[in-house]
A and B are shown apart, each in its own frame.
Chain A
Amino acid sequence: MSLTDATSRPAAPSRLSGVPVMLAALFCLACLVCALGADWIAPYGEADLVAMPWQAPDLAHPLGTDQLGRDMLSRIIFGARTSIGLSLAIVTLAFMVGGAFGLAAVTLGGWADAVISRVVDLFMALPPLVLALLALSVSGTSLVTLTLVAAFIASLRVFRLTRALGVDIAARDFVDVARLRRDSTARIMWREILPNAAIPLISEFGLRFVFAFLFVASLSFLGLGVQPPTADWGGMVRENVGALNYGRLTPLVPAAFIALLAISVNLIGDYVVARRGGAR
């Protein structure tokens, strides 16, 4: 119970204004269009050397050029495809796997829960980057293995969150009622527990999406992520970081896009949560 002084004036109703959400949605839509239609939208090719390295923005290259003299705008547009596609695939997979195991653990309980949880603890004890390096050096670097490995690592945290949320819900009487009705485990997970955990999971999705971005970028830095010349926003920050020494702001361009997308995805997530009345 939050209390306020009775002498204070009524607080204006705090409402999530629609304008920032609209802008966020527009930005996400634009990124999606770029990702899908990069070949037609981008003025230059993804790997074309078109000018001198680290040129300042001008009419021909509105966002300047990168360390090899490739058009920054084109690379951002192509990078949207790699970065968003990859992150989306990683996070979606992570939520399907981690969420399913988390719900299964709380619904089955007992030894099933204990076994799954301890295995997850085991993997979480390893630093994620080391785990990824190990897995990628064994399996070889391709976009598919990268996605699978990153999704596995992200799914550990999704599992922990889903289980923490689910334990609380599975202890409620309506789950007992469903069990006494002999509903299947899958039905209890899907119909009774998941809908009550959905709202925190949705906001977590936005956050995990951003982390997946950064994770791919750090793998790229170590040469195990997205391979050149394929553009990805995280990798572009790293490639161009040297420009800061020469007083150029080039690496801030992809960084700004990462930040904008992160904020937009989270704004939309918060909006969904608020709309579904999740302030409980």
Chain B
Amino acid sequence: MNGSAPLLEIKGLHVEAVLPNGGIATILDDISLTLGRGEVMGLIGESGAGKSTLGLTALGAVRGGAYVRSGEVKLDGVDLLKGGPALLRDIRGRRVAYVAQSAASAFNPAFRLIDQVIETSVQRRLMSRAQARQRAIELFARLELPSPETFGEKFPHQASGGQLQRAMTAMAMCARPDLIVFDEPTTALDVTTQIEVILAVRQAIREEGMAGLYISHDLALVAQMADAILVLRHGKMVESGSTAQVIEAPTADYTRRLIAARNLRHAPQPERPPLLELKGIAAGYGNVSIIEKLDLVVPQGRTLAVVGESGSGKSTLGKVICGLLPHRAGSLAFAGRRLEPDMHRRPLDDLRDIQMVHQNPDLALNPRQRVGEIIGAPLSRFQGLRGAARDVAVAALLEQVELKPEFAERRPGALSGGQKQRVCIARALAARPRLIVCDEVTSALDPLVADGVLKLLARLQAEQGVSYLFITHDFGAVEALADHVAVMRHGALVAAGPARQVLNPPYHPYTEALIRAVPELRLGWLDGVIAARATQTPDRRST
């Protein structure tokens, strides 16, 4: 082992990929970084920036179709790119480990967790089976998993998403590697679960003295985890430096925009009469009740934000309002008239008045249709437009959502995530609705792109007076749009009222827990949380 060399040194790394049409795409362009022992570096960038590719090269791996054109990846002075498969096999799992974004799909559902956690250590003969089990149990305790002695006996489906993510971290740490690559380990989790995971992971990293590459699109989160930050964009290094330097004195314009993102504020608006009223709504699937006795009001031309964790029933609420899932009890009133529970029994006008924009534009847009057909279908149905008149209307709608008219000829596959979501919004607007149900519309988008979509929604409301029922778990989006806020938990309302009342002290305890769990973009935020928790009762292990 070469004592003077840094743990990981990447120099002038170029990675390219062969495209299906035979062309070449540059994925990483001249990347260099140095990581010392026990340090954590955050890799920040939007999707497609190349941050996962960079993380994988630390394991000497690339995705299929990609290859390293030039550069060095040295682990303890040994170039991984020049070593053979035997060297790479020796290093992976033992010296460098990887934690994937979705632990749920990374575990084999047919084996108990403990067997998968200790597999590498035992197979490499680093420890005996008994030693490895002991170590795994130690790690489970360190990562604050419930009843660490027996936790490993569970099968993956018996553990929650947050627990699996921590079990995967234990799997990576088990063989005492020098470096762990975390690839968006908390992106798929709720904020309250996320904070449990990052707290546990950060403490474990510090106590074990391991180095980490922490990949994320969430700058506020990375600022809590990392000693240094590298900002990537389109495969190029935009900025790198210590965390304090990058957060407090960013030099690149892109970094400044990232830091300024999520700071949209919605000015209070005068009260308006209700458009949609829910009274005592109950709904569910089969024998499972998801929503119970829910009362909500969406005012005309205003936004009601519905906030809650996954499983709180907020997406089910959207389906009930659209009539996709008929409610079992209670009543829906829209603009003074009663709404049928089942969409099939609603008059066409009711269907037109309530439109929906979904979370994942990839599932919401038919990949085989052109944008012009997608936006044109509601124009034909609700406005009876055909031929050239319809084309003109499509172009006008595209312009409203800030897309060029040429987009009408493209298919969704040729659009970026933000552009697709704009097409979904245009399709909803095509019906000239009075209410749009927005179900997590920004959660699949990168921060800057999400900001653009939020601004668009705010502008459309100001211009057209459309109301939004905005379902989200993102408090940044709530502050950007909401006039009223309803907080949901386990299918029931926890708190509801004007935004400035719900989102300011005195909070409801659950609202406060949700708000406190959102990472803030300042140094030491997580330390503050840890300190606050230390003063509370220590039994706050999450499920």
Check B65 for interface membership: any CB of A closer than 8 A.
yes
CA distance A11 to B63 in the complex (A): 12
Assuming A173-B358, A196-B366, is B322 touching A6 (CB within 8 A)?
no
On whether the beta carbons of A180 and B360 are closer than 8 Å, the reply is no
For B61, give the chain A residue with the smallest CB separation: A3
Residues of B contacting A13 in the complex (Cβ-Cβ under 8 angstroms): 18, 20, 22
CA distance A37 to B104 in the complex (A): 60
Residues of A contacting B381 in the complex (Cβ-Cβ under 8 angstroms): 181-183
CA distance A191 to B374 in the complex (A): 11
- Minimal beta-carbon separation of A157 from chain B (angstroms): 24
11 pairs from A and B in contact (CB 8 Å cutoff): A6-B62, A11-B67, A172-B364, A173-B360, A176-B324, A177-B427, A181-B382, A192-B366, A196-B367, A277-B20, A279-B20
For B65, give the chain A residue with the smallest CB separation: A11
Q: Which of B339-368 contact A (CB under 8 A)?
A: 343, 348, 351, 355-356, 358, 360, 363-368
* Chain B residues within 8 Å of chain A by Cβ, number: 46
CA distance A3 to B536 in the complex (A): 45
On whether the beta carbons of B85 and A5 are closer than 8 Å, the reply is yes
On whether the beta carbons of A7 and B324 are closer than 8 Å, the reply is no
CA distance A79 to B534 in the complex (A): 85
- Minimal beta-carbon separation of A237 from chain B (angstroms): 40
Check A228 for interface membership: any CB of B closer than 8 A.
no
Assuming A173-B363, A180-B356, A279-B20, is B56 touching A5 (CB within 8 A)?
no
For B53, give the chain A residue with the smallest CB separation: A6
Residues of B within 8 A of A (CB): 16, 18, 20, 22, 56-57, 60-68, 73, 80-85, 88, 322-324, 343, 348, 351, 355-356, 358, 360, 363-369, 377-378, 381-382, 427, 431
On whether the beta carbons of B18 and A11 are closer than 8 Å, the reply is yes
On whether the beta carbons of B365 and A174 are closer than 8 Å, the reply is yes
Cβ contact of A7, chosen from B22, B60, B323, cutoff 8 A: B60
Closest 5 CB pairs of A and B: A195-B368, A2-B64, A10-B67, A173-B364, A173-B358
CA distance A15 to B324 in the complex (A): 44
For A192, give the chain B residue with the smallest CB separation: B366
On whether the beta carbons of B61 and A174 are closer than 8 Å, the reply is no
Check A17 for interface membership: any CB of B closer than 8 A.
no
On whether the beta carbons of B80 and A3 are closer than 8 Å, the reply is no
Residues of B contacting A137 in the complex (Cβ-Cβ under 8 angstroms): none
For B82, give the chain A residue with the smallest CB separation: A7
For B73, give the chain A residue with the smallest CB separation: A6
CA distance A79 to B418 in the complex (A): 57
Mark contacts of A7-31 with chain B using CB atoms, 8 A cut-off: 1 yes-contact digit, 0 otherwise: 1111101010000000000000000
Residues of B contacting A4 in the complex (Cβ-Cβ under 8 angstroms): 61-64, 66
Check A178 for interface membership: any CB of B closer than 8 A.
yes
- Minimal beta-carbon separation of A68 from chain B (angstroms): 53
Name the residue among A174, A192, A196, A198 with the largest chain B CB count within 10 angstroms.
A174
On whether the beta carbons of A177 and B80 are closer than 8 Å, the reply is no
Cβ contact of A5, chosen from B60, B351, B360, B369, cutoff 8 A: B60
- Minimal beta-carbon separation of A103 from chain B (angstroms): 14
Cβ contact of B63, chosen from A2, A176, A195, cutoff 8 A: A2
Assuming A195-B369, A196-B368, A279-B20, is B351 touching A181 (CB within 8 A)?
yes
On whether the beta carbons of B18 and A3 are closer than 8 Å, the reply is no
CA distance A191 to B182 in the complex (A): 42
Residues of A contacting B358 in the complex (Cβ-Cβ under 8 angstroms): 173
On whether the beta carbons of A8 and B67 are closer than 8 Å, the reply is yes
Assuming A6-B57, A7-B80, is B377 touching A181 (CB within 8 A)?
yes
On whether the beta carbons of B64 and A3 are closer than 8 Å, the reply is yes
On whether the beta carbons of A174 and B82 are closer than 8 Å, the reply is no
CA distance A186 to B364 in the complex (A): 20
On whether the beta carbons of B343 and A179 are closer than 8 Å, the reply is yes
CA distance A176 to B367 in the complex (A): 15
Residues of B contacting A172 in the complex (Cβ-Cβ under 8 angstroms): 363-364
- Minimal beta-carbon separation of A109 from chain B (angstroms): 12
